[in-house]
Amino acid sequence: MSLPIRTLPILEQWDCCGCGICCRATIIRLNDQDVERIRSQRWEEDPDYRGMKVLVRQGLFRPRYRLAQRRDGNCIFYTAERRCRIHELHGLEAKPLICQQFPLQVVPLDKVAHVTLRRNCPTAAADRGRPLAEQLGDVRAMVRRSDKPPAPIRAPMVTRRSRRPWPDTHRVFELLERLLRDDRYPLVRRVVHGLTFCRLLDLCRLRRLSGERFRSLLSMLETSAVGESAGFFQARRPPGRLAAMLFRQTALEYVRLHPKFIVERSWGERLRLIRAAAAFGRGRGRVPPLHPHFPETTFEALQKPLGHLAEEVQRPLLAYFEAMGASKRYAVMLRRRWSITESFRSLALGYPMSLWLLRLSCGGRPPTVDDMIDVVGALDRGETYAPLAGRRHRRRVSWMVRGGELARLTVWYAR
């Protein structure tokens, strides 16, 4: 059964500006129809592609394919004029489905599928363009061309010890969304409220609670979460040594997802990243030169207060968190085996990470809206980046949660 497609209850806007960022340093995985369509285009006869591999096979027993990339990480079909060669010669519908859809993302639940925006597209992160509701017809047409229309999914675990029926699961989702969109508080407070609620919910034994008792429990925990979070802001303390090291390890993953970071596929690049990992583990002295875009700085400088951010600079980050809360994408797309509380913590980790990345990319100068849009792009890419959804990252986040360290990190980097 294919689910009906709806937009979110918040305003999202987007129009393509032709920046080409979706064609750079992105793995484009193909379905069977994509492969057949590209092979039928006979690129081996095109003088510009003669002798070049346009498809890369992955897997031995059940082969899958992706588009080939150039040495600089750009798609093989991305031209010097910042255009898609497939689109130029054969039209929009000749491109791989994932390319046609980007930055649109369909998030299936039990009775409906939400369409939202991937905010590693700069115009989506800036909410520039037509309202998404006006583009719903195009979205539905693309979904009809898909080999996998959105179908109902199983409710995710609420905590690591408890799975609830969909009505109760929706109540947890709605509560976390309400906390993230509570405009009585700044975003940092909203994130900490959500973290505190997740900690309290994990402590509860939910198995024997009926629907009404479960609703009463959630209401009580929501009130408690807001009250108990105040202590983190009364005494802003730096994170402990272990939490700080785990945070820096995660930061190195996000640096590689920054739109300005160009991944070179060479042994020299691998060696450079190994050295950088060792330096990030120590967390002292000069930050390794990761890319010319990032100014020289030290790990100590990245701990200094960032100061007040202008409202227009904060807006892309606020919109990212509100859209993630409304769409539930953080809990039902990549991290299928994670509980909602675990997935929310991974999402919340993006808040201090965004401010750390902002410090790194600005090097002491005042941040701009474009700086924040780049940072939001890195956060969004992280939501579908396998190393940030595997067992290692799951353990890393669970260690950062202990003793309230993740909330402390959030408050510390919000200075």
Predicted pLDDT of residue 338:
95
Classify residue 281: in a domain, yes or no.
yes
pLDDT reading at 29 higher than 80: yes
Same domain? 88 vs 234:
no
Predicted pLDDT of residue 266:
66
Classify residue 373: in a domain, yes or no.
yes
Measure Cα distances from 45 to 40, 48, 49, 85 in Å.
11, 9, 7, 14
Cβ atoms of residues 200 and 415 within 8 Å = no
Return the axis-axis angle of helices 340-362 and 187-202, rounded to nearest 10°.
150
Cβ atoms of residues 195 and 343 within 8 Å = no
Give the lowest-confidence range in 269-273, 327-331, 378-382: 269-273
Same domain? 139 vs 192:
no
Classify residue 274: in a domain, yes or no.
yes
Same domain? 25 vs 95:
yes
Same domain? 109 vs 190:
no
Predicted pLDDT of residue 220:
96
Classify residue 296: in a domain, yes or no.
yes
Measure Cα distances from 336 to 31, 130, 186, 329, 385 in Å.
21, 32, 30, 11, 13
Same domain? 109 vs 184:
no
Classify residue 77: in a domain, yes or no.
yes
Domain stop point among 107, 126, 145:
145
Same domain? 385 vs 271:
yes
Domain stop point among 123, 145, 167:
145
Confidence of residue 403 (pLDDT cuts 50, 70, 90): confident
Predicted pLDDT of residue 350:
97
Same domain? 161 vs 267:
yes
Same domain? 332 vs 402:
yes
Same domain? 123 vs 189:
no
Q: Rounded distance, CA 250 to CA 227, Å?
A: 30
pLDDT digits (tens, 9 = 90+) for 114-135: 999 999 999 999 999 999 999 8
- Per the structure, the count of domains in the chain is 2
Measure Cα distances from 308 to 125, 130, 186, 366, 414 in Å.
21, 31, 12, 10, 9
Confidence of residue 138 (pLDDT cuts 50, 70, 90): confident
Return the axis-axis angle of helices 369-382 and 311-327, rounded to nearest 10°.
20
Question: What does pLDDT average to over the chain?
Answer: 90
Domain that holds residue 414: 155-415
| Mean pLDDT across 358-370 | 92
Domain stop point among 119, 145, 171:
145
Please give the residue that has the higher pLDDT: either 105 or 26.
Answer: 105
Same domain? 120 vs 196:
no
Predicted pLDDT of residue 264:
64
Classify residue 361: in a domain, yes or no.
yes
Identity of the amino acid at 30: L
Predicted pLDDT of residue 285:
93
Measure Cα distances from 409 to 152, 194, 397, 403 in Å.
36, 14, 12, 11
Classify residue 150: in a domain, yes or no.
no
Predicted pLDDT of residue 270:
75
Same domain? 188 vs 73:
no
pLDDT digits (tens, 9 = 90+) for 192-225: 999 999 999 999 988 888 888 999 999 999 999 9
Predicted pLDDT of residue 265:
64
Share of the chain above pLDDT 70, in %: 97
pTM given for the model: 0.92
231: which strand partners? none
Predicted pLDDT of residue 140:
85
pLDDT digits (tens, 9 = 90+) for 258-283: 887 766 666 666 787 788 888 898 99
